[in-house]
Amino acid sequence: LAAADTFRAAAIDQLRIWAQRTDSEIVAHAPNADPAAVVFDALDAAIARRADVMIAATAGLVVALMVWQMVERERRSGEEDLARRASALAHRLAPAVAEALKIPDSAVPPSLGARLEGHRRLLGFAIFVPDGRMIACGRNLADFADAVGHTVAKALAGEEEPVTMVRTEGYHLHVLALRIRDERGQIQGSLVAVHDASYLDERATGGLLRGLFWVFLVVLVLLAMAFVLTWIVVGSLTVE
């Protein structure tokens, strides 16, 4: 639980009570603190602790928009982390690929073997030669040659480690292409690292929907309270 309604004196204490009742962890700052900072810290805690759900209690639509900005910022941060990971993995494999590209194309796949395969969110690696043909790939990338082709073309044209987000049927792909050069500096081909980035969209969409649900619920409660108070006041005036 994220106590992002920092402007109402009792809101944080009320959420602490609900955290105790539901046996949930709570992230809270001092009263009048930045609500976005509370949500950001709560997101960090939720990711670190592998929580399935993070609920942010906000003060209204303005705060909900702030929450959305934070969720989007978190998604962009996730993409940057993915790019750094892909770059590190590609550079680690690059020397072996450079050696493999010195032999006939048909011998490249068996020479690299399982090193082209992926694990977890890494779908795998693919190797392209300068004419744009894919000559080797992990078994999960066999159907993605066309999807990553645009990124490969950028790398072969001279762009340093181009990164693109590609949407295909059932996948949201993070694609990084690394140029491979020989000892003379000539381009031998391109090594492509492909990650499944669908979890970034799921995290952003889930956070937004949960935030909007709670904002909608709070608004309904406030409207109901206003209606009841109005009814009581009107009733008392009628009696008088």
pLDDT in tens, 208-240: 666 667 667 777 787 788 777 777 766 665 655
Side chain identity at residue 6, one-letter code: T
Whether the per-residue pLDDT at 93 is higher than 90: the answer is yes
Task: Note the helical H segments in the chain.
Answer: 11-21, 35-48, 61-100, 108-112, 145-156, 198-239
Give the span between the Cα atoms of 38 and 19, in whole angstroms.
16
Of residues 68 and 102, more confidence is placed in: 102
What percent of the chain has a predicted confidence (pLDDT) above 90? 21
Q: How far is Cα 44 from Cα 54, in angstroms, rounded to an integer?
A: 10
Q: What's the rounded Cα separation, in Å, for the pair 240 and 183?
A: 97
pLDDT at 38 over 90: no
The CA distance from 67 to 211, in Å, is 7
CA atoms within 13 A on the CB side of 117: 6
Residue 166 in tokens:
């590609």
Q: In 10 A of CB 1, how many CB atoms?
A: 20
Could you give the angle at which helices 61-100 and 35-48 cross, rounded to 10 degrees?
40
Look at the block and give the residue holding tokens 């900072």. 37
CB 172 within 8 A of CB 197: yes
The pLDDT value recorded for residue 212 is 62
Q: Which among 39-43, 58-62, 209-213, 232-236 has the top mean pLDDT?
A: 39-43
Name the residue with higher pLDDT: 171 or 214: 171
Q: What is the spatial distance between Cα 231 and Cα 177, in angstroms, rounded to a whole number?
A: 66
Is the Cβ–Cβ distance between 14 and 3 less than 8 Å?
no
Residue 224: other Cβ atoms inside 10 A: 10
How far is Cα 144 from Cα 100, in angstroms, rounded to an integer? 22
Per cent of the chain over pLDDT 70 is 84
- Per-residue model confidence (pLDDT) at position 166: 85
pTM over 0.75: no
The torsion angles phi and psi of 164, rounded to 5 degrees, stand at -135, 150
Residue 194 has pLDDT above 70, yes or no: yes
